[in-house]
Amino acid sequence: MKTTCLRACHPPPLLLHSRTCHTIPHFLSPPAWQPLQSPPLSSTKRLMARAPNATTTTTNDARMLREGIAEFYDESSSLWEDIWGDHMHHGYYNPDSSVSVSDHRAAQVRMIEEALRFAAVSGWVFYTIFNFSLEEPSEKPERVVDVGCGIGGSSRYISRKFGANCQGITLSPVQAQRANALAAAEGLADQVSFQVADALEQPFPDGQFDLVWSMESGEHMPDKKKFVSELVRVAAPGATIIIVTWCHRDLASSEQSLQQWEKELLNKICNAYYLPAWCSTADYVELLQSLSLQDIKAADWSQYVAPFWPAVICSALTWKGLTSLLRSGLKTIKGAFAMPLMIEGYKKGLIKFSIITCRKPRDSENGGKKQWQ
């Protein structure tokens, strides 16, 4: 498998300073990037059987999950925006820095930049020849879909960066309405739009987008194979797909499932955040390989998001955070009490913050076959 080492392979030092909210914990030290080895493909049945809560999802279960996710974000999005701004995802940090709330917002933007850079969608291609770092322009995306768009922070940023037309989908009517309002307020209504839609049944024709973006939405998907297949379906030939998501650790070759304590911890998190069964980074890679995607890369960025959950707890313990939390509703309060469980999962190496990127073959590279259907 061909892999290309970009500048994202060795993330540059990040200059973070000012008032300290907390010190970044040093409990994670995985490499930022590593070439993928091609594991033997496993069936989707085995993939889901290895995850916690692995039961057959009925139509009623799926409906209840969608409703729970929508209500959770309907309740919590305004609280998040008030304290953290319009980017509803982790930040990307230097593991050796101490940071303040203002730095967290900058780190959330940096997460977008680093994800684009890792996938070679930064507008520039970076490479090294004989110890010399070189760069050259690359194609910029013109049509982007933001799957699980929140209140549209990533879409608006990417649209401004590349001049691209972006469409976002979310299960939350409150998020879609707010995202469209922010786009209009920022003069982007002609380039960026948002609607309520299911990521497993996207309302777009085949091959429409040259960048398919999913920032921390995959963890909510009850059918990971269908989720990935839909990302591939709406991608144009030659398009880049970027998946940034929470995963559980990869299983050892001798393991058939996670340990019991790991399942129990993940189940508690699932109950708080309306998550179905988790999967590993390796499971995502296998799904992408089964669909004949190209240039597949993955990395564990857990160490670069380590300050995030302690910072969220820190912000929740302020007077503004506490009063806003109490007004936001029971689902949000339940999610707040689960935040220490996320920290525990990261600290024990169970939860991984993963980025997986790939490219959809051009028709000439794939013999014209639609293998994602």
Task: State pLDDT tens for residues 1-48.
Answer: 333 333 333 333 332 223 334 333 333 333 344 444 444 444 444 454
Show the domains of the chain with their CATH numbers: 7-366 (3.40.50.150)
Percent share of the chain, pLDDT over 70: 72
Q: Using N-to-C axis directions, what is the helix angle for 59-84 and 173-185, rounded to 10°?
A: 40
Q: Using N-to-C axis directions, what is the helix angle for 281-290 and 224-234, rounded to 10°?
A: 50
Query: Do the beta carbons of residue 212 and residue 242 sit within 8 Å?
Result: yes
Q: Is the dihedral of CA 56, 60, 63, 69 positive or negative?
A: negative
Helix (H) or strand (E) holding 243: strand 235-248
Q: What local confidence, expressed as pLDDT, does residue 85 receive?
A: 79
- Residue with more model confidence, 177 or 19: 177
Query: Do the beta carbons of residue 166 and residue 192 sit within 8 Å?
Result: yes
Q: What local confidence, expressed as pLDDT, does residue 259 receive?
A: 97
Q: What local confidence, expressed as pLDDT, does residue 321 receive?
A: 64
Q: What local confidence, expressed as pLDDT, does residue 208 receive?
A: 97
Whether the per-residue pLDDT at 360 is higher than 70: the answer is yes
Angstrom distance (rounded) from CA 373 to CA 290: 12
Whether the per-residue pLDDT at 56 is higher than 50: the answer is no
Mean pLDDT, residues 294-320 taken together: 84
Closest alpha carbon to 359 in 241, 211, 248, 268: 241
Query: Do the beta carbons of residue 56 and residue 32 sit within 8 Å?
Result: no
Q: Please tell me which of 54-63, 187-196, 317-326, 358-367 the model is most confident about, judged by mean pLDDT.
A: 187-196
| Average pLDDT of the chain to the nearest whole number | 80
- Residue with more model confidence, 60 or 11: 60
Give the lowest-confidence range in 125-139, 239-253, 355-369.
125-139
Q: What local confidence, expressed as pLDDT, does residue 100 receive?
A: 60
Q: What local confidence, expressed as pLDDT, does residue 168 receive?
A: 98
Percent share of the chain, pLDDT over 90: 54
Whether the per-residue pLDDT at 372 is higher than 80: the answer is no
Closest alpha carbon to 75 in 271, 330, 313, 274: 330
Angstrom distance (rounded) from CA 360 to CA 211: 10
Q: Please tell me the chain's helix, strand, coil percentages from 3-state DSSP, rounded to the nearest 5.
A: 40, 20, 40
Q: What local confidence, expressed as pLDDT, does residue 101 receive?
A: 52
Mean pLDDT, residues 301-325 taken together: 77
Q: What are phi and psi of 168, to 5 degrees?
A: -115, 150
The token pair that represents 186 in the structure block: 């920022």
Angstrom distance (rounded) from CA 91 to CA 87: 9
Query: Do the beta carbons of residue 247 and residue 284 sit within 8 Å?
Result: yes
| CA dist 195 → 63, 148, 155, 205, 232 (Å) | 18, 10, 13, 15, 20
Whether the per-residue pLDDT at 53 is higher than 50: the answer is no
Number of H helices, E strands in the chain: 13, 11
Whether the per-residue pLDDT at 145 is higher than 70: the answer is yes
Q: What local confidence, expressed as pLDDT, does residue 124 receive?
A: 55
pTM: 0.80
Mean pLDDT, residues 345-366 taken together: 91
The token pair that represents 166 in the structure block: 């972006």
Mean pLDDT, residues 70-79 taken together: 83
Angstrom distance (rounded) from CA 260 to CA 129: 47
Q: What local confidence, expressed as pLDDT, does residue 350 receive?
A: 97
Closest alpha carbon to 198 in 226, 178, 225, 174: 226
